[in-house]
Structure 1
């Protein structure tokens, strides 16, 4: 008997998407907004957006107060976030128990980028946005970057532009949609919804938004403190398969090695099953208990009229700021911010194995993670914090990064972390190529993975941490 006739209800994968993404990644000058005009627009928005931020004493905070019973610092509405204490017990690292302040923001926000074809090339709708903690004012941000409290307008401010395209997106238009964590040392189980949504109709124009290709974003990632953290994490969640070598690239070039790294058919040092088993083992073997406690119960930290700081002035402080802006949903407010001490170092070592680029990632334990362990860059630290612990406690590969050879550095740029919660938090992001003989065989917390394997893990929550996601976005841009 002949098979039954089809109903036409079955849908198949969009095989054109990798090619459309690749074309966008190759397009820099022939974009809807040429690079010279794009830079001029960023400078113009930076001059037009008034953003004055001033440190203030805690007593001058408006609608924020310390709870009499717990000493927690929270907003009168009970929304946004609160500064609480965290007690940690761990079997991992040089210090196995401590207490600290932490940001508790249980709301799941939206970080979303709209994409649309313009003259046959996919463009991303990016926002020129100021944040109170930014080191330099305006940075390129996703189309939407909003907490639930923001988009529900708890602050009684203006509506978030383009929000409806994410909250009510037709499923067929969603290219990526995944919950991802943020800094596990500063946030308690913080997650945001990272989304990429394609639209086909023209959208109303706004002076703070411009359509930008992936190639332009990759170029701008190399500039200090320009593409913000929220944009970088969404860029890392774009579907993979567009890391092709440039036309005319030699077979032994970096572009060819990166293209092979994004191609599952090129092979890898470890199979997907082996990688998942390794990650599962890391989850099972590490014992971490992190419990929220009253901020007043934190030991080794002290509260002064204008900051909460560690007794030895290490790690970070909690400070208060007064903000005045003409480009945000409200024109003025006060809030706490976490202020890191020192500029961090975030580095990814890469090497070629049979012509395929592999990245060395670390299964890292942080107390604020929802699932104990996430994959981090090879090195992620503020070196000064280890000075008091001695040479035996220095992170693996830190000295290799500090003493790298200039010709081995593929990427080296200072990039800011999220300016809505952190005060001038900056990290030096680096990608460094090492010799093929470099190994980590004696370090069970490290593995060499391809870009394809990392991209596959990024389709799921709680596998790849926010610092590694930034470097994955930068790594893709090297092609």
Structure 2
């Protein structure tokens, strides 16, 4: 029997325009929003930040309220790796935020309520965010600003139909055990569309994914959790959207988590080695990786109109790529069991290749990802998706990754893969996404990108 929700998702994935909204109308609306946006972000010295300061004993960079987040130090040991020990600054934000999208059916087609949201780290001002994208400090109004619009829908989700609801991690190289609730609810009641919000079909969102720096990281993460019927995952026009996760796959993940014994210990920021603090940045002595900087923000359309904060500024554009293939008609992706110091449970499944290529000029040759050259050397005819997309703009300043989906070279053999790489059917990955700490945020973005290139057959 065809899954009813999968059929409805598939219908939305084919609705390029609807009676509610056209893509041309959305672009005109967004252009108008951007012209009206008077937000300003200015890099400032640490001493000029309002409400933030370095603790005298630890050197940690903290907010006066003790809330929001802090910049601390991390001491990392990874036995057997090309670089076995290091220290670094890291963001610690123990509270769990809400990343929520409201869905509603118009004329038989699911639409999703999205927000054109300014974040201080966005390279282009407004980007398309979930209906609600808020930390606990924000939606409990620690900042004493206005209430977060629509947050009440996600504080009583039992009133509505839940399409997805799972806590997911974020970047384990920059965040220490960061998690957010990724949730999609469907409502039947009328929803007032506030200024800065817009309904879109899933197909329209997929089309917008190819636009550089438009659909933000949090939107991509939530959309990846949507039960999506990939081609070939079952019989029927829109078959079951996720396959049961096999014992063999779970055993492989458990074995990998057991094989590695990373140790990440929080330390005072003033004890990190090989990092230098100046008046306006904390950076590595070799100039690589990232810096911690400070910004002052003047923002329209936000709960608070002005503030200052620290941010992480990556050095270089990252690369995240999935190699894919079809076996007996079922789409598979080559994943990497990736260890990062900020993960809660040792490792998570990551893209085939995930790195910032420039960093490897400063690291031992053995640290270079084994399939990086395979990805960079792929001919154009094997490229299924290619777009540069921004990462989370609330904590990262102009952080961007090139996201690639590639048809794997048939000459790539199983013998070419190490023990940390494995081909996994995409329906099983969707099964894993329903649980926490299995797919990292870069892999979830690529799952959303895969949706845009592997839509199911048009449902009847």
What TM-score do the two structures reach when normalised by structure 2?
Answer: 0.95
Aligned with 1:436: secondary structure?
A: coil
Unaligned runs of 5+ in 1: 1-12, 245-255
* Paired position in structure 2 for 1:10: none
Query: What is the aligned counterpart of 1:370 among 344, 347, 350?
Result: 344
Distance 2:52 2:425 in 1: 46
2:114 aligned residue (126, 129, 137): 126
In structure 2, the residue matched to 1:420 is 394
Partner residue in 1 for 2:97: 109
Q: Unaligned 5+ residue runs, structure 2?
A: 456-460
Q: Does the 8 A contact of 2:243 with 2:428 survive in 1?
A: no
Q: Is the 8 A contact 2:242 2:430 kept in 1?
A: no
Residue aligning to 1:332: 306
CA offsets, 1:372-419, max 9 Å, x none? 110000000011111133443310110011111011000000000000
Q: CA deviation at 1:222?
A: 0.7
**How far apart, in 2, do the equivalents of 1:323 and 1:388 lie?**
33
Equivalent-residue separation in structure 2 for 1:332 and 1:115 (angstroms):
31
Aligned match for 1:186, one of 174, 181, 188: 174
Q: Pick closer, same or farther for the CA change 1:156–1:350 going to 2, 3 Å.
A: same
Match of 2:142 among 154, 176, 187: 154
Divergent runs of 4+, >4 A: 256-260, 262-268
Note the 1:79-94 alignment, pairs <5 A.
79-94=67-82
CA distance in 2, matches of 1:267, 1:424: 37
Tell me which residue corresponds to 1:436.
410
Choose the corresponding residue for 1:470, options 441, 445, 448.
Answer: 445
**What SS class does the counterpart of residue 450 from structure 2 fall into?**
helix
Are 1:229 and 2:223 counterparts? no
Structure 1 residue aligned with 2:266: 292
Query: Partners in 2 of 1:443 and 1:105 — Cα distance?
Result: 34
Mark the CA change 1:450 to 1:79 in structure 2 (over 3 Å): closer, same or farther: same
Query: 1:41-56 alignment to 2 at 5 Å?
Result: 41-56=29-44
Distance in 2 (CA, whole Å) between partners of 1:31 and 1:374 is 41
1:259 CA drift (Å): 8.9
Distance 2:352 2:414 in 1: 10
Aligned to 1:477, the other structure's residue is in SS state helix
Aligned partner of residue 317 in structure 1, secondary structure? strand
Q: Tell me, yes or no, if structure 1 residue 410 matches structure 2 residue 384.
A: yes
**Matched residue SS, 2:252:** helix
Counterpart for residue 5 of structure 1: none
Question: What pairs with 1:128-143 in structure 2 (closer than 5 Å)?
Answer: 128-143=116-131
Q: Distance in 1 between matches of 2:354 and 2:414?
A: 16
Deviation of the 1:354 alpha carbon: 2.8
Instruction: Indicate whether 1:387 and 2:387 are aligned.
Output: no
Q: 1:48: how far off?
A: 1.4
Tell me by how many angstroms 1:56 deviates.
0.3
Q: Residues 105 and 212 from structure 1, CA distance in 2 versus in 1: closer, same or farther, beyond 3 angstroms?
A: same
Asked if the contact 1:286–1:372 (Cα under 8 Å) also holds between the matched residues in 2, the reply is: yes
Using the alignment, how far apart are the partners of 2:88 and 2:19 within structure 1?
47
Q: What is the Cα deviation at residue 351 of structure 1?
A: 1.4
Work out whether residues 31 and 213 of structure 1, in 8 Å CA contact, stay in contact via their aligned partners in 2.
no
CA distance in 2, matches of 1:15, 1:430: 30
Structure-2 change in CA distance of 1:266 and 1:210 (3 Å): closer
Give the Cα separation in 2 of the matches to 1:337 and 1:27: 38
Matches within 5 A, 1:190-205: 190-205=178-193
CA contact (8 A) 2:103 2:113 kept: yes
Q: What is the CA distance between 1:258 and its match in structure 2?
A: 10
Instruction: Tell me the secondary structure at the aligned position of residue 155 of structure 1.
Output: coil
Match of 1:34 in 2: 22
Instruction: Confirm or deny: 8 A CA contact 2:6 2:241 kept in the other structure.
Output: no
Give the Cα–Cα distance (whole angstroms) in 2 for the partners of residues 264 and 158 of structure 1: 42
* Residue range with higher mean Cα deviation, 307-316 or 382-391: 382-391
Deviation (angstroms), 1:217: 0.3
Give the structure-1-normalised TM-score.
0.91
Q: Using the TM superposition, name which of 41-50 and 228-237 deviates more.
A: 41-50
- Residue 235 of structure 1: SS of its match in structure 2? helix
SS of corresponding position for 1:349 = strand
RMSD across aligned positions (CA): 2.0
Superposition deviation, residue 440 in structure 1: 3.9
Deviation at 1:435, TM superposition (A): 2.9
Deviations 1:106-128 (A, max 9, x none): 01000000100011100000000
Q: Which residue is equivalent to 2:230?
A: 243
Question: 1:16 Cα deviation (Å)?
Answer: 1.6
Structure 1 292/392 Cα, relative in aligned 2: closer, same or farther at 3 Å?
A: closer
Q: d(CA) in 2 for partners of 1:267 and 1:371?
A: 23
